[in-house]
Amino acid sequence: MTGTDTADPTPRDSSRRPLVAILSGAGISTDSGIPDYRGPDGLWRRDPEAEKLVTYEYYMNDPEIRRRSWRMRQDSPALRARPNAAHEAVARLERSGAPVRVITQNVDGLHQLAGVPDRKVLELHGTARTAACTRCHARSPMSEALARVAAGDPDPACAVCGGILKSATVMFGERLDPQVLGTAMGIAEAADVFIAVGTSLQVQPAASLAGVAAEHGARLVIVNAEPTPYDELAAETIRTPIGTALPDLLATLTP
């Protein structure tokens, strides 16, 4: 563990329990068997063409891209994965009574499966566990759409209006939901402790949340194998494996 102490520019209300905000990225889920798509062995590195499968313009305009996307979803490890020790540590902290909010860049739903209430998890990039219509915006379980694919429909349409279905995730070329992003900013501003775990803090606007938290007086802790652009703002940086580092860190915050 390394790090430097930073001044706290914003006085905190000592009468309330400290709010812990956790920003999680792909690195928290690799122990669950979900690859980091941008890592050295990630899908985007191995097959740059694969990015088209999750790029909105290509997806909407090319039926073959959609068919390939549905085949990819059938094989996606995200829908078969189970929470690992890091997810369970976050859920354990929440159950202890500590005020906790999770902001995640992941779409795997593992924080909720570990036991963190859905209302305390903010999914910046949506969820792969739900299918959404691009026309009428009706939503349904992804399992239903995948069952239709398995039954022989290579590009299932919306059962309500016949529109194009996609996963309820933010594809390349789509904007983040401004309401979700605004809520995330509010959490970052209010946090007493802000932990960025398993994220390179290079993808904006999510990465800026770490800076916002530090500027508003939070103790910023970064748990990531590689350096990030926000390390100099951190009170502590941790390079050890997330599966052991995060449980150890969160144990110190348990009431």
pLDDT at 48: 63
In the chain, list all ranges with CATH 3.30.1600.10: 37-80+128-169
Measuring CA to CA, how many Å separate 57 from each of 20, 67, 171, 236, 238?
37, 15, 9, 41, 39
Report pLDDT for 15. 56
Buried b (16+ CB within 10 A) or exposed e, 234-247: bbbbbeeebbebbb
E strands, 10-169, where?
Answer: 20-24, 100-104, 121-123, 126-133, 139-141, 165-169
Report pLDDT for 4. 37
Q: In the chain, which segments carry CATH 3.40.50.1220?
A: 1-34+83-125+176-255
For position 10, what pLDDT does the model report? 40
Which pLDDT score, from 0 to 100, does residue 3 have?
Answer: 41
Cα–Cα distance measured from residue 196 to residue 207, given in angstroms and rounded to the nearest whole number: 9
Report the pLDDT value the prediction gives residue 78, as an integer from 0 to 100.
83
User: Domain 37-80+128-169 maps to which CATH number in 2.70.98.10, 3.30.1360.30, 3.30.1600.10, 3.40.710.10?
Assistant: 3.30.1600.10
Angle 90-94-95 from CA coordinates, rounded to 5°:
115
What's the whole-model pTM score? 0.88
**The pLDDT value given to residue 47:** 62
Catalytic residues: 125
Question: Which pLDDT value is given to residue 188?
Answer: 98
Beta carbons within 8 Å of 37's beta carbon, 6+ residues apart: 26, 43, 44
Task: Give the pLDDT of residue 40.
Answer: 52
Decide: 103 and 187 in contact? Cβ < 8 Å.
yes
Hey, what amino acid is at 24?
S
Instruction: State how far the alpha carbon of 181 is from the alpha carbons of 104, 112, 125, 126, 136, in Å.
Output: 11, 19, 10, 11, 23
Which CATH number describes the domain made up of 1-34+83-125+176-255? Answer: 3.40.50.1220
Ordered per-residue pLDDT tens for the chain, 255 residues: 434 333 333 445 555 789 999 999 999 999 999 876 655 555 555 666 778 888 999 999 999 999 999 998 998 888 889 999 999 999 999 999 999 999 999 999 999 999 999 999 999 999 999 999 999 999 999 999 999 999 999 999 999 999 999 999 999 999 999 999 999 999 999 999 999 999 999 988 999 999 999 999 999 999 999 999 999 999 999 999 999 999 999 999 987
Say what the pLDDT of residue 76 is: 84
For the chain, what is the mean pLDDT?
90
